[in-house]
Structures are given as structure tokens and as C-alpha cells.
Amino acid sequence: MIKLVATDVDGTIIIPEKTFTKEVRDCITRLDNNGIKVVLVTGRMHAAAKLIAQDLGLTTPVISYQGGLIKDGDKTLYERYLTKEQAEKIIAWGKEENIHLNLYNDDILYSEKDCYEVKRYCNNLHTEYTRKSFADVEKNKVNKMLAIDYSSPERLTKLEKELPKIFPELYIVRSTPYFIEFSNKEASKYCAVKFLQNYWGISQEETLTIGDHNNDLALLEAGGIKVAMGNATDELKATANYITVSVTENGFVKAMEKFCNI
């Protein structure tokens, strides 16, 4: 019997650059009414993720920053940051590569420029940013850093292969074709879901995990039932034990109807 559904957000319950459907909203309400805990597990910053949870009527903790932060209302249950030294190393790398970086410190998004990359990012995710030189950001609670290149996903593919050698101490993940994320080694979706399983006394076998991109490889690893969306990457589909239809076809709803008896 499934007691916990840990779900990715973008590309899983939210259609890219749009929102969730009425069918998804109603499905999550039915899960909640049947005593199944639904937890959002996202790379988004907490300030943005909590608004989605509230819109869906969820009162469960929210996992944000790829697993680097879990908050239950105003209470912090779990947090893992980059050190100031790690952040500075990433900033230096970004300047050398001439690639845009978002820096998230204490749940505030900073950008050094008012550029296309940050404006498109914030417009798509309905969030805000603060323009500030990274040298002037305190960097005492760096939730994560994000490299963005909308013009050349191929470039990011090349960088993705090189980065583990440059930053072996970090958790580095490709969250979309355009994004590479840098965070603490223990800031993964796997670590965060495992924390909540232990917190609630829920087993892996009682957990369903569902996602669409390679940053969800860690998420699926934490589930007994591992679901990949129809629009998921080939890598994620290969690790799943069930593949549902795409996000535009309400694949989340189809999977819940199959495995959660709602």
C-alpha cells in the first residue's frame, strides 16, 4: 500500500512554462483525502515551490533545491548548503567559461546581470531575482548555484561530463537541457526523500516516486514504485519500473490511478 507519493514538479505535474491541469489538482486532492502523503520534490527555490504546494492545497513538507532544503511551514526539517569556498570556486569557473550563473543564498535568487537568461528563467517560473555582484553577496547559506545556457544544450552536455572532475566534492546534476545545478553532496532528491521516510516511519516499498528528467534519477532511487513520465529522458525511463504517459496527457494522474487505488 502506497503511503507516500514523492513527485517532481516541472514536466511531471506542471506542463513546461504553463501550470498544472484540473485533473492533476483533483487527483492530488483525492490522494490527500485517502491519507496518502503527497510531497513536492523540486529543484526550484523554496519561495517558489511553497506557492505551488499552497495552490494545490498541500500541507505536507516541501522539498526544494534538489533536496537541499525541507521545510514544514516555517519549520526547517533538513538543510544542506554549499560553503562559501565552494560557491567562490563555482563563480570563478563561471567567469572562465563565460556562462550565466544564478546564485541562491538564504532563499533569495541573485544574478550579477539583468540578462536574457535570468529574465527568461524567472518569467517561466514566475519568480523574482535580485541584481547584485556576487562579491557583495554574503554567501553564508548558499542553497545552490545554477548554470544556464539556452542557446547551446550541446555545450552543457560537454561541460556536464567535465564538471565531476573539477568539482568532485559537489553534487552536480542536469535538471533540464539548459540547466546544470551545483549543490552539497547531501542535497539530492534521494537524501531528502529518505529523510522524510525515516521522519514518518514510511518504508521504501510504501513510497511511489515519479519524475521526468535526469535530476529525478536520485528521486526514483528512493521509491519502491519508480515511475517515469512519458516525456522523461531515456536514462530515467531505463531506471523506472513503470512508464506512464506524458505530462500533457496527465501521466501523473494515470500513474496514481494505477498504483494508489484512487
Q: What digits encode the pLDDT tens for the residues 216-254?
A: 999 999 999 999 999 999 999 999 999 999 999 999 999
Res 125 pLDDT > 90: no
- For 154, phi then psi, to 5°, come to -65, -40
Q: Where in the chain is the domain with CATH 3.40.50.1000?
A: 4-79+187-259
**Contacts of 85 by beta carbon, 8 Å cutoff, 6+ apart:** none
Q: What digits encode the pLDDT tens for the residues 35-76?
A: 999 999 999 999 999 999 999 999 999 999 999 999 999 999
Name the CATH topology of 4-79+187-259.
Answer: Rossmann fold (3.40.50)
Predicted local confidence at residue 16, as pLDDT: 81
Please, are residues 244 and 228 in contact by the beta-carbon 8 Å criterion? yes
Q: Where in the chain is the domain with CATH 3.30.1240.10?
A: 84-183
Name the CATH topology of 84-183.
Answer: 3.30.1240
- CA distances to 34, 88, 99, 155, 172 from 159, in Å: 45, 18, 11, 6, 11
Q: What digits encode the pLDDT tens for the residues 151-173?
A: 999 999 999 999 999 999 999 99
Predicted local confidence at residue 18, as pLDDT: 79
pTM given for the model: 0.93
